[in-house]
Amino acid sequence: MNYYSLNRQSPSVTFEEATIRGQAPDKGLYFPERIPTLSHNFIKNISRHTKEEIGVEVMKPYVAGSLDDNELERIVSETVSFDFPLVKINDNIYSLELFHGPTLAFKDVGARFMSRCLGFFNRNKDQKTTVLVATSGDTGGAVANGFLGVEGVDVVILYPSGKVSTVQELQLTTCGQNITALEINGTFDDCQAMVKQAFADKDLNNTLILTSANSINVARWLPQQLYYFFALQQWHDNGLPVICVPSGNFGNICAGILAHISGLPVQHFIAACNANDVVPQFLQTGNYQPKPSVATISNAMDVGNPSNFIRILELFQHQLPQLKEKVSSVTVSDEETKRILSDVYKKYQYTLDPHGAVAYKALNEYLQEHNDWYGILLETAHPVKFPDVVEAVTGSPVAVPESAAHLLKLEKKSIRMNADFNDLKEWLLNK
Ligand SMILES: *Cc1c(COP(=O)(O)O)cnc(C)c1O
């Protein structure tokens, strides 16, 4: 499979090259040259397949030419080595829990798949690759954990000081080995701007092999399709599901739509957003207007210009009517998010995290208007990652899973830095 740049000014590349580059030289996102079609039999018998078999079947065409069957099987089985349970919340709504991985958020799958691909592609190279990534919270932990101990790769994570939760901070500052955390005196937007500047800097690119690990990377984006197949695998005859995805950079939902176009039966998609409402506004007005992000209690979705939305447009050949028929998008305020978290806890004894609560609200509203349909929300993070909000709202402590309990005993190690690109550059050149 080859990948073209959505800006169409750079040549097409293999999966390997798209993974190593992250972004095309013309700054476009890479996009698969064709969308594979899964066999009817595979979909019909999906509940008889293992997670590993599904992973290989779905990913195989995308990596063809870059990974052989054995390598793909190994990478897939290391990637999906935990549970993805579909849990019933009430008669109409199910939660696909994507937080059973090592860093308790859905980003583990993409980060694990990408890190193993990059490790494999790097196996015979002398020079190390430096993965540079900015995080608002969950990306950093998933990338740190995914790349920990991967040979030939150093990871540098920039995060905004004081703006991530305790568990999130410990996940990205306690790995050691090939992982370094830079604690920036600034906001997430500052961190992202510094990283962007680094990728554009001549001196840095002459000295280091820099790559990103954010969701624009095809090796992080594409394996997220698997969640939707795992959901279908556990879905029993309630008609086609409506699937609601808490969305920030729109990588996850875009992968779901891609899975659907390949043959996965889905009634409708809902992209649930917090106050960062660029996409809901666009679907209403046809006018795409990026704006600075605003801080909310579902902070992993605080994105003012979702980078993967352009891929969704490409999937629908930029036809707004077709897009609107299959995908809706709504915005949910922090007040509503807290109210829903509390309601669902009281009524159904189910503890959502703030991101899942945004999705619940959007899905529940949609199902009131389509009352013979059933829905699945993607629960993208464990509530323990956001204890302040969750415990204040439910009034009870969140049970701490083993992986987080272990973290709380470790000591944070970070390097403090001002939000100044020159400081970052000097540090990278001398590292
Ligand atoms: C990253 C993240 C999101 C947003 O996912 P996108 O693919 O960027 O839309 C939602 N919820 C949580 C918990 C996240 O970490």
Least confident of 230-234, 301-305, 314-318, 319-323: 301-305
Mean pLDDT of 282-290: 95
Residue 288 has pLDDT above 90, yes or no: yes
Mutate-to-test residue for ligand 1 from 355, 378, 379, 386, highest number of ligand atoms within 8 A of CB: 355
Q: Is 249 in the pocket of ligand 1 (CB under 6 A)?
A: yes
What are the residue numbers of the active site?
Answer: 107
For the chain, the average pLDDT equals: 95
Residue 137 has pLDDT above 90, yes or no: no
CA 71 to chain CA centroid, nearest Å:
23
Ligand 1 centroid – CA 72 distance (Å): 25
Q: Is 247 in the pocket of ligand 1 (CB under 6 A)?
A: yes
pLDDT of residue 316: 98
Segment 341-398, tens digit of pLDDT: 999 999 999 999 999 999 999 999 999 999 899 999 999 999 999 999 999 999 999 9
Q: Is 138 in the pocket of ligand 1 (CB under 6 A)?
A: yes
Segment 327-338, tens digit of pLDDT: 999 999 999 999
Mutate-to-test residue for ligand 1 from 107, 274, 297, 308, highest number of ligand atoms within 8 A of CB: 107
Binned at pLDDT 50, 70 and 90, residue 215 comes out as: confident
Spans of all domains in the chain: 83-106+221-398
Q: Give the sign of the dihedral formed by CA 350, CA 354, CA 356, CA 360.
A: positive
Query: pTM for the complete prediction?
Result: 0.95
pLDDT of residue 274: 98
Segment 222-269, tens digit of pLDDT: 999 999 999 999 998 789 999 999 999 999 999 999 999 999 999 999
Percent of the chain with pLDDT over 90: 84
Binned at pLDDT 50, 70 and 90, residue 320 comes out as: very high
Ligand 1 centroid – CA 197 distance (Å): 23
Binned at pLDDT 50, 70 and 90, residue 402 comes out as: confident
Instruction: Give the pair of three-digit tokens for residue 48.
Output: 């008889």
Mean pLDDT of 265-284: 98
Binned at pLDDT 50, 70 and 90, residue 165 comes out as: confident
Q: What is the CATH number of domain 83-106+221-398?
A: 3.40.50.1100
pLDDT of residue 416: 98
